[in-house]
Amino acid sequence: MALDNENKNFFDVVGTRPIRPDGIEKVTGQARFGADAYLPGMLHGIILRSPHAHAEILNIDTTSLDNDPSVKAIVTRKDFSPDLKGEDWNILENVMADQKALYDGHAIAAVACSSLLEARDAVKKIRVKYSLLPHVTDVEEAMKEGAPIIREGVARSSVPKDMHPNIVGYHESGHGNVEKGFIEADLIIEETFKTEAAHQGYIEPHACLVNMMPDGKGEVWCCTQGHFNVAKVCAKLLGTDASQIRVTASEIGGGFGGKTAVFIEPVALALSKKANRPVKMVMSRSEVFRATGPTSSTSMLVKIGMKKDGKITAASGTFKLQGGAFPGSPMAESAMCAFAPYDLEHVKNVGWDVMCNRPKQAAYRAPGSPMAAFAVESVIDDLCKKLKLDPIETRLKNAVKEGSKASFGPRFERIGLVETLESAKSHPHYLAPLKDGYGRGISCGFWFNFGGETSVSLALAEDGTASLSVGTPDIGGSRASMCQIVSEELSIPYEKVRATIADTATLGYNEISHGSRVTFATGLATIKAARDMKRKLCARAASNWGLEEDAVYWEKGYVKPAGPNAGNHDPLSIIDIAKTMGRTGGPIVGHFEASPEGAGVSFATHIVDAKVDRETGFTSVDRYTVIQDAGKAIHPAYVEGQFQGGAAQGIGWALNEEYIYDEKGVLQNAGFLDYRIPVASDLPKIDTVIVEVPNPGHPYGVRGVGETSICPPLAAIANAVSNSVGIRMKELPMSPPRILKAIEENNG
């Protein structure tokens, strides 16, 4: 039987929109998030954070807490493993500072007390002696001669020797000869662009409840996108075994990449270990902004040459990304995604990884790609305008297709960029005349998507219903999609399947919920686990009938004899087989473990109409349309939600969100009042079109959708705004002061 690799084209349940299985808990407030956990005897932990952007820590004096009965434990860096290297050391250095405070908000020490109020008071009594060091927070400033060096000797071997010590990573890719290509161009535009750091802005702050027992067994409850990773990191930072730390993921109030990193769990474990009591920690919003990872801020140089007919002859870009006081900014991703939508004979992508006195950047939906698209798609828009070309036709003329050589190397398999552009061209939004004073912006965007380690288990209950355990926290509706997949494969109703996010002791290692991988990889694993179960059901029925396994077959929820030779048996339903499984061979469980490849890249095209109030610089986004290739939408409502969410976050990033540091390197807007994510009334109704060009790497054709949707908005909105005011906006956010200044300067 070919149950294993069958690709499905016709579906009963997949593609429908059943209600979400986690809905009742969420709307009645019973869902348990990170901070909704309590244990008897639990303490409250609070972290003391550096008020300085860059300082040597001379002394941490906790003697004032010595006789304080409310203080149950104090930890500093010396309470963590001294033996770490590489990225493990970087994570620890970010979790708890060693000799230097590297950014405003860097953790210095932590205390645990019986009550939160006591902990808040106690932490204020710790005296830290700092020796201030010069600091730098701007990516360009950090590379200037004389800029303070964040850490010597971090640069990877790929970084050219003569570069500034704060440049710690270097990427180069591409093909052809760009110099030759630029000679062939009729028009070349070269521009620099800047973007500010944007925070993922998840509504739920980081929170955990942990218990470290004297025998070394640790229990962690936390809000994370990847609890297996939490176990791994905590074990390393505390110098213990990964299997001894059991992590359960709570419900999650948003992550967007920012909850792939580990911040407070190792600290809580270290406090718990010392106090011999459970410890709960909940970050304040200010801590979330100061000490968890926003995305990189950037400085980018892009050059594109075009023929009069719109054909791009060559493209090059240098993408400088600041990733905080640690190596690891997604500059290679910026460089590789920048020109990915276009089929180019000559292309060169360069990325620089730059260190600054800012928090360690963390992933934020398609890390690196949205900023690169902003630079590239702005230049393409200007080329189209100067050459009087239609922005969609021009993009179609250059669009990559199946077999095109990607700007970052490999040849594309089947992809759907052209389909999104064709759909945009005929969309009522694009055909509608532009209202007076408005500008329209178009942009394409690209993201790789990812597979990664995945392990699932599907158990059959005695009544023929199914219980699916997955190891990827549900950050975008994956439980609904997984239940649909099981329902589809086993031909049992959607409501008869329950999906659970299992803890780290229950399944094999699962990579974090990131890289838009869950519906692809966990979905693929669920399909394979269900097919494994079907095979076992067939074997059980065959054995019950005294037949060989290949003498039966599966059809829509029933095992049937394969032909007249197999004898005259009534088909056995799942319920029939489940009822007797205890005495016919034992429990029936399907499972699957692998690191699936073939995630299938994804493209999108966005259309935006925006209007700028020329007297105040205020931008209103009036109409927004997202068109994206989903491969196959398992639950279209969730896919549309991902599309809309990407656009909404993009609108915030493009218009108002930014990290604002003062001259001392202290973050000025560590709260939702002055870090301005869009409110509901800022957003237009966001229209969506799901394009389905199946991914050949998935049995149903699924492509990840969570990240591509945030790749085009920065550029699409910038193009709309620039067209409304008649000035090219080259710096994000396009906040009212920045737009008004550009208008004033343009007026001379």
Partner 1 sequence: MRYEAPQTLNQAVNVFSEFNGLKRILAGGTDILVQLRTDVIQPELLMNIKDIEELGKIELFDNFWKIGAGVSAANITRNKEFSKEWPGITEGVGLIGSTQIQNRATLVGNLSNASPAADGVPALVAANAMVEIVGRNGNRKLEILSLISGPGKLNMKSDEFISHILIPRQNKNSSDCYIRFIPRTEMDIAVVGCGVNLSVENNNISAVKVVLGAVGPKVIFSEEASNSLLGASLNADSLSKLQEICERDAKPIDDKRGTIDFRRKVAGVLAKRAVEKAYKRIMEDS
Q: Tokens standing for 283?
A: 């970050």
Judged by CB under 8 A, the chain residues 274 through 333 that form the site for partner 1 are 286
Q: Judge whether 382 and 323 are in contact, CB under 8 Å.
A: no
**From 328-336, 504-512, 622-630, 739-747, span contacting partner 1 (CB under 8 A):** 739-747
Integer Cα distance of 455 and 21 in angstroms: 21
Q: What is the largest CA-CA distance in the chain?
A: 92
387 CB-near residues (< 8 Å, 6+ apart): 186, 187, 306, 308, 310
Pick 177 or 616: Cβ nearer partner 1: 616
Pick 243 or 668: Cβ nearer partner 1: 668
Cα angle 126-129-130, degrees, rounded to a multiple of 5: 125
649 forms part of the interface with partner 1 (CB under 8 A) = no
Integer Cα distance of 182 and 304 in angstroms: 8
Q: How many CB atoms lie within 10 A of CB 125?
A: 15
Q: How many CB atoms lie within 10 A of CB 738?
A: 17
Judged by CB under 8 A, the chain residues 650 through 689 that form the site for partner 1 are 655-656, 660, 668-669, 673-674, 676, 678-679, 681-682
Integer Cα distance of 373 and 407 in angstroms: 13
Q: Judge whether 518 and 599 are in contact, CB under 8 Å.
A: no
Pick 533 or 740: Cβ nearer partner 1: 740
The only residue of 584, 595, 616, 746 in contact with partner 1, by rule CB under 8 A: 616
Pick 44 or 171: Cβ nearer partner 1: 44
617 forms part of the interface with partner 1 (CB under 8 A) = yes
737 forms part of the interface with partner 1 (CB under 8 A) = yes
Site string for partner 1, 65-104 (x = CB under 8 A): ----------------------------------------
Q: Judge whether 615 and 725 are in contact, CB under 8 Å.
A: no
Integer Cα distance of 293 and 98 in angstroms: 19
Pick 218 or 678: Cβ nearer partner 1: 678
51 forms part of the interface with partner 1 (CB under 8 A) = no
Establish whether the linkage from the previous residue to 40 is cis, with ω within 30° of 0. no
Smallest separation (angstroms) from partner 1 to the CB of 101 = 21
Q: Tokens standing for 590?
A: 């399907």
Pick 7 or 668: Cβ nearer partner 1: 668
Judged by CB under 8 A, the chain residues 623 through 642 that form the site for partner 1 are none
Smallest separation (angstroms) from partner 1 to the CB of 730 = 18
Integer Cα distance of 94 and 263 in angstroms: 8
Smallest separation (angstroms) from partner 1 to the CB of 289 = 12
Residues in the chain: 748
Smallest separation (angstroms) from partner 1 to the CB of 97 = 22
Render the burial of 623-643: b for 16+ CB within 10 Å, e for the rest: bbbbbbbbbbbbbbebbbbbb
Smallest separation (angstroms) from partner 1 to the CB of 662 = 9
The only residue of 148, 254, 571, 736 in contact with partner 1, by rule CB under 8 A: 736
The only residue of 95, 406, 480, 740 in contact with partner 1, by rule CB under 8 A: 740
Pick 518 or 740: Cβ nearer partner 1: 740
Pick 103 or 494: Cβ nearer partner 1: 103
Number of residues that bind partner 1 (CB under 8 A): 25
Pick 16 or 286: Cβ nearer partner 1: 286
> If we measure between CA atoms, which residue out of 404, 360, 374 comes closest to residue 302?
374
Task: List 221's β-bridge partners, or say none.
Answer: 209, 248
203 forms part of the interface with partner 1 (CB under 8 A) = no
> If we measure between CA atoms, which residue out of 283, 225, 250 comes closest to residue 31?
250
Smallest separation (angstroms) from partner 1 to the CB of 679 = 5
735 forms part of the interface with partner 1 (CB under 8 A) = yes
Q: How many CB atoms lie within 10 A of CB 669?
A: 16
Integer Cα distance of 408 and 38 in angstroms: 49
724 forms part of the interface with partner 1 (CB under 8 A) = no
**From 300-308, 369-377, 497-505, 734-742, span contacting partner 1 (CB under 8 A):** 734-742
Pick 595 or 668: Cβ nearer partner 1: 668
Smallest separation (angstroms) from partner 1 to the CB of 674 = 5
Beta strand 686-691 with 618-629 is parallel
Positions that interact with partner 1 (CB under 8 A): 120, 286, 615-618, 620, 655-656, 660, 668-669, 673-674, 676, 678-679, 681-682, 735-737, 740-741, 744
